[in-house]
Structures are given as C-alpha cells and as structure tokens.
Amino acid sequence: MSNIVIRKAHKQDFDTVVRLTCELQDYLRRFDRRYKSGRAFRPTARKNVRKNFSSRHSRILVVEHSGRVVGFCLGQVRKGFDVYLHDYIGFLYDAYLEPGFRKQGLMGQMLRQQFAWMQKRKVRYVELYVDPLNPVGMGAWVKYGFRPLMIRMRKDLKK
Ligand SMILES: CC(C)(COP(=O)(O)OP(=O)(O)OC[C@H]1O[C@@H](n2cnc3c(N)ncnc32)[C@H](O)[C@@H]1OP(=O)(O)O)[C@@H](O)C(=O)NCCC(=O)NCCS
C-alpha cells in the first residue's frame, strides 16, 4: 500500500492513540462481553497512554496513511517475571489497526522496528497477552513467532 509511513508517535497523536485504544477495547468486547466498553475504558486509556508517552521505557509506533493515523503498537522494556531467568523483557501491550488496514503486513513492519529498539536495549525475549477468543490476534502473534508461555485461567464462582 502506498502513502504509508510508520513512525514514532508524537504528542499530537495522543487523542488518536487513545481513540484507537478504545476501539481495540470495543473490538475485544465483541468476543467477550465482560470487557469494559471503549467508552468506559477511556479514562484508563488516557492515563495509560499519557504515562507511556512520557516514559523512555515505552515506545509507541503509529501507522500513518496519507497523513491520517490508522493504527498503533505500544512496546515497552520492563522487568520480567521473577520466576524466569531473564531480568528484563520486551512487552507488546496494545496493537491495533483499523479494519481496512489489516492483513497487509503492516503489523510486521511495526514489529520489526519495535524488536530492533528492544534488541538495542539488550532484550532477548518479547512477551504479550492475547485473548484466545480473538482469532485474529492469535493468528497474528503465532505468525510472528510468539508461542504460549504461561496460561492465565479464570473460574466463575457463580457457576
Ligand atoms: C492483530 C493485528 C494488529 C495484526 O496486524 P496486521 O497488519 O493485520 O497483521 P498481518 O497483516 O501481518 O497479518 C498477520 C495475521 O493476522 C491475522 N489476521 C489479520 N487480519 C485478519 C482478518 N481480518 N481475519 C483473519 N485473520 C486476520 C492472520 O492470521 C494473519 O496472518 P496471514 O496473513 O498469514 O493470514 C490487526 O489485524 C488488528 O488490529 N486486529 C484487530 C485487533 C487485535 O486483534 N489486536 C491484537 C490484540 S492482542
């Protein structure tokens, strides 16, 4: 696709990244109604995005199409889980592309840049959360080499 630029998010992208974070929330809610709606999540999204914009341990990349931001990916270098040997890991928090921009390898381009940044910071392993009810997310992460590490489970005490 032409007219595509992948770049670091600027301060002016703040509202767009918040909006896309809320869209991701609504997208996930289609698979599981226990997710908060994008609207209910908005204050948390604003707080998280603000924190990540100002942290040197986080990196937000955006996809711009003809001057309009249509997707983003939030990466971070953080402390790993204590039970594993590597103290610091890369973590991908949110990744979202508007529907018309999926399945064209754009996430692959963002990931290459996130991984390069993480490797410069001596990270070897990159982790993320994905909902197994989300087939698109599951397909994408497996395609990019991610494999299950630790499975979080939930029991409903009303059942
Ligand atoms: C997941 C997402 C970020 C991947 O970005 P992308 O640029 O579409 O990724 P790619 O084009 O490299 O596609 C990677 C894989 O994603 C899956 N995928 C992407 N779009 C899909 C769609 N519309 N239907 C089914 N699978 C899809 C496929 O497994 C695809 O692999 P393939 O090309 O070999 O079929 C993007 O599709 C998206 O925003 N999805 C909705 C939100 C989401 O699920 N985010 C991840 C939360 S953990």
- Tens digits of per-residue pLDDT, 74-117? 999 999 999 999 899 999 999 999 999 999 999 999 999 999 99
CA–CA separation, 63 and 72 (whole Å): 6
Q: Cβ-count burial of 144 within 10 angstroms (0-12 exposed, 13-18 middle, 19+ buried)?
A: middle
**Predicted pLDDT at 2:** 74
**Predicted pLDDT at 103:** 95
What is the 3-state composition of the chain as percent helix, strand, coil, each rounded to the nearest 5? 40, 25, 35
**Predicted pLDDT at 5:** 97
Give the E-state strand segments of the chain in sequence order.
4-8, 58-65, 68-79, 88-97, 126-128
> Does the pLDDT value for residue 122 go beyond 80?
yes
Residue type at 13 in one-letter notation: D
Determine whether the shortest distance from the Cβ of 73 to ligand 1 is under 6 A.
Answer: no
Give the mean pLDDT of the chain: 97
> Does the pLDDT value for residue 1 go beyond 80?
no
Kindly indicate whether the domain formed by 4-143 is annotated with CATH number 3.40.630.30.
Answer: yes
Between 1 and 144, whose confidence is greater? 144
**Predicted pLDDT at 42:** 98
CB 17 within 8 A of CB 9: yes
Determine whether the shortest distance from the Cβ of 138 to ligand 1 is under 6 A.
Answer: no
What is the three-class DSSP state of 37?
coil
Tokens of residue 29, six digits: 């809610």
CA–CA separation, 41 and 15 (whole Å): 14
Determine whether the shortest distance from the Cβ of 70 to ligand 1 is under 6 A.
Answer: no
Average of per-residue pLDDT across 10-28: 98
CA–CA separation, 75 and 93 (whole Å): 6
What is the three-class DSSP state of 8?
strand
Determine whether the shortest distance from the Cβ of 24 to ligand 1 is under 6 A.
Answer: yes
Residue to substitute in 4, 31, 63, 102 for testing ligand 1 pocket (most ligand atoms within 8 angstroms of CB): 102
